[in-house]
Structure 1
């Protein structure tokens, strides 16, 4: 019981479909979804566009039908993701996920036909259709769908690609999850030999004892190495499928699709990375100082998350929840209301137990208008930040709850904006409320770790992935070469600051194997720096900024990021100024840390 409220650390999934992976209600939902998808397919296929403005009503009706189908499939996908995350040993989940993937592919086929039919309209007629009242609010997203369809293959060819992707593409992503579920990391705890799940093992990289971190890392490398050949094949087949699809469409740049998905110009991405590359020196100095404080010549990979000094004690889950709510309340009522609801209504799965998947995520159940948040809470300041981060994702969907369903599909780069913004509120508050200089250093270091992760670790992922895809164009890239590419990317991204790297990072990082979004890396860094710009504005304007912040979040799925920044922040993302100011905020933390640890 905390301040009159009960905060739950195990989520409730039965409210959606009772019975978990054995739920009859969920099987009924899947059956019902299949029928509705088939009905939608028939409507789309039988529709003959007349290239007249009067088609507006028919288009509006099809969009209304799409909303219903999309919500059903999203509800199912969210449920299956939660089932897998809470228990990676649940054998029934794989079959359920396969059914959801098939439904998604069927819907995608119907949408491919719909989008292709939009391309049959003359440009002038199309502009007139979009002016009609019913479709007016959907102008951006419908225009985007039509333009993207014009750059793809024919309807028949794209439909074939979607059908083949079930087993030839998404199947490989699901295989990765299966392989990871079998991995156990050996760890000697005193005289007892234990087997840790990858989630439990990754938590130990923030252990204050270097011997513990080193032992876990050795077991970690050993375990991933045993599966490396399987994972190498998986990664190569995923990339091969993508590259063949791009080749058929005539797309030469592997970044074309991820940039399209993120509604972002190449110039913006290049400018962001250039500013970061030019600003690496202070972060290298930080890593060198951290090494001294830890009593080593140079940090190894397993030292990156090591705490400096000691925070007085571990926080309980309830204390972490209280802290988040208290500091959200200083920003705005809506954000606080959402967080309290998540803690009190069993929307969060945070219990530290074996069998859970590693990492954290937020997912949304659109038919129920509820979020679910997943993580493993072990009482560290970093755990509290992660919890705030995922609540930020949840608040983003909450802020958009009244938007048309088509105007809620925001891209990953802006999705990371709300999460990082929430995380910054909590991290800043932690540093300011430190009980003594030693604790302040420890908390400041924890905050800087995020800058290192977003500006160095993510950079290494981006460098690795772009180079891997270039080599994959010429054939399969072997395990040893993947290790080399990964290590080279890490050395470059970290400015040579480490004594030991993690060549198998490509294998242990789920993000390289996600099929839904290619290049699941640079959007994190974009979101981090973009949110720093918003955070600075919020601090300038003080109380009352929440309303403007919500207005920005509501626009995240209905304009490009360049338009969003221009409208709400009055900045040009293709130029270095904005990015330099954002990175400077990270450097200011480093300078304070260096001063305190002189």
Structure 2
């Protein structure tokens, strides 16, 4: 059989030729500027719709807004990719500033549109949404109307938008550049290696405990050295967010993230209530695994270690072959998609210094493509990270046929497709396992994800809640941030994790994503939601792929409660829904303990 070889470096020229010096990209930006200019002109003559006849003025406006969003998404994804592969690319940083300027102009105009819609009488509004041109955007337009900044004047909206570019979002970009610029010296097999933060973090799954331990403490010392600088970044991001919320009349720090995730607070509270009731089996799993590693409690630096020692290295080609094979067992469209991603250079995995530490998937809606970024160094964890990001890319693929504004789905659903893809891999690998040791190895990897979602993500949620409560009263010191992190970890892990990283608030990038406050609970929601979907998939076999695609395509045009009711027939404000997923995970923990009992 001919050996297949894939590029470890992605191909961005298929999107825009020439990287940060691309003339094609500049043409794209000129078109974007022109579209925003047209929007500005249209809004100057726009008045509150007073009758159904005025829908003729609204339709082209909505279509232009949808087009601008696609152009912005295309541009932002390209810049994100350039700065991930080379954080020192100054031309790309300059282009990012230009994109941010146009995005700010666009958001100002969009805020005006939303506000104008709030003044439309209810009967006129309902009649407009029943027209052929607008009825498919009913959910989005109602969302705009409901979430409009009614308490802000146009001048205040403009000021906030301007400040976001060079203040708020700039802090998030500064954080990413700072982390990417850090180099780490670590002893591996008697030799000192100079690594990026991403490469050092990858050592958490190294088979040698001494390497894991050294990487953990070297990183902790770096974070300690720079804690004051990072505390300034997180305090400034949070302070800006709090001030804007106050201006908008938003009293709860969770109100905005819940709206962005199209989720009721009751749904979120019910989910955490059920998770808190089921933590003991996962504490027992951590205790058993710790016994297997060194006979003591679970140290934070041993969490990602394999339960069964294995020196096996998975090459990128092997990972690609396995992923394609396992995805083919689910459905032909997923198989065909992932083949295309590997063959056409959509994936950047090269293990090298001076690249971003953060894995991600970037969507390019205008060209119907995605790009996946990570550092691959031969572990099963790397393969699962790759699968996770390919799940995001498949969601983008599913949305290709969806019109305009309905392409944008909330983060809570974004994490569903990625988790669902991981389930496919785990299930297929478990079926192929020929020994007790293999089953233990696979169950361990699966349970790590349960612990991450039910304990680690919970600790992030608790930390962020407590941090914002204190930040509301003033600056929170680095020392206090460490205390809050430690308290949150101990509570979320039910005391089952020893020597935790009190600097998790520093190296967890989600706290610094300015577009998405509380980017934690969407992971847990997506994880449990994916379990429910996967249970349906196992019942129906390959026939389920069509249903799965329909669910993904609906993800941008309804609330999460409506989506689950429509496609699964379940009420996610009830504990019964969440308990079904939790029980599946508990069975994994019980099976792990049973298999390792001898």
TM-score (norm 2): 0.97
Which residue in the other structure is 1:277 paired with?
Answer: 276
The alignment partner of 2:401 has SS state of coil
Q: Secondary structure at the match of 1:578?
A: helix
What's the CA shift for 1:155?
3.4
Query: Does structure 2 retain, via aligned residues, the 8 Å contact 1:51–1:120?
Result: no
After superposition, what is the alpha-carbon deviation per residue over 1:463-483, rounded to whole angstroms, capped at 9, x for unaligned?
000000000000000000000
Distance 1:216 1:82 in 2: 27
Name the SS of the counterpart of 2:400 in structure 1: coil
- For residues 560-596 of structure 1, the C-alpha deviation after alignment (integer angstroms, 9 at most, x for no partner) is 1111111111111011001011011111111111000
In the aligned structure 1, how far is the partner of 2:511 from the partner of 2:434?
40
| Contact 2:447-2:588 at 8 Å conserved across structures | yes
In the TM superposition, residue 2 of structure 1 has moved relative to its aligned partner by 6.1
Deviations 1:401-439 (A, max 9, x none): 111120111000001111100111002212221232212
Stretches of structure 2 that go unaligned for 5 or more consecutive residues are none
Cα deviation for residue 285 of structure 1 reads 0.5
Correspondences of 1:432-511 after superposition (within 5 Å):
432-511=431-510
Tell me the distance in 2 between the aligned counterparts of 1:191 and 1:580.
Answer: 48
Q: Which moved more, 1:496-505 or 1:96-105?
A: 96-105
Supply the distance in 1 between the matched residues of 2:396 and 2:146 (Cα, whole angstroms).
26
**2:213 aligned residue:** 214
Aligned to 2:591: 592
- Listed one character per residue, the Cα deviations across residues 338-386 of structure 1 (whole Å, up to 9, x for unaligned) are 1111111111111212222123211111121111111111121122211
8 Å CA contact retained: 1:9, 1:351: yes
Following the alignment from structure 2 to structure 1, what is the Cα–Cα distance between the partners of residues 478 and 93? 27
Pairing 1:122–2:121 present: yes
**Farther off after superposition, 196-205 or 396-405:** 396-405
1:286 partnered with 2:285 = yes
CA distance in 2, matches of 1:45, 1:113: 10
SS in 1 for 2:567: helix
CA RMSD of aligned residues (A): 1.5
The Cα offsets for residues 285-342 of structure 1, whole Å up to 9 and x where unpaired, read as 0110011000141121111101111347222111111111111111111111111111
1:549 maps onto 2:548 in alignment: yes
**Alignment of structure 1 residues 298-447 onto 2, 5 Å:** 298-311=297-310, 313-447=312-446
Maintained 8 Å contact 1:152/1:158:
no
For residue 181 of structure 2, what is the aligned residue in structure 1? 182
Partner-residue secondary structure (3-state), 1:220: helix
Is the CA contact 1:455–1:525 (under 8 Å) kept in the aligned structure 2?
yes
**Deviations, residues 147-193 of structure 1 (Å, cap 9, x unaligned):** 11165523332222112111221111111112112212221234433
State the match for 1:527 in structure 2: 526
Please tell me whether the aligned partners of residues 312 and 439 of structure 1 are also in contact (alpha carbons under 8 angstroms). Answer: no
Aligned to 2:91: 92
- Alpha-carbon shift at residue 26 of structure 1 (Å): 2.2
Contact 1:2 1:318 in 2 (8 A): no
Separation in structure 1 between the aligned mates of residue 2 and residue 556 of structure 2, nearest angstrom: 37
Matches within 5 A, 1:14-25: 14-25=13-24
- Where does the alignment leave 5 or more consecutive residues of structure 1 unmatched? none
Provide the secondary structure at the position in 2 that maps to 1:88: coil
Asked if the contact 1:49–1:55 (Cα under 8 Å) also holds between the matched residues in 2, the reply is no
Moved more, 356-365 or 574-583: 356-365
Q: Give 3-state SS (helix, strand or coil) of 1:188's partner.
A: strand
TM (norm. structure 1) is 0.97
Q: Is the 8 A contact 1:352 1:378 kept in 2?
A: yes
Q: What is the aligned length? A: 597
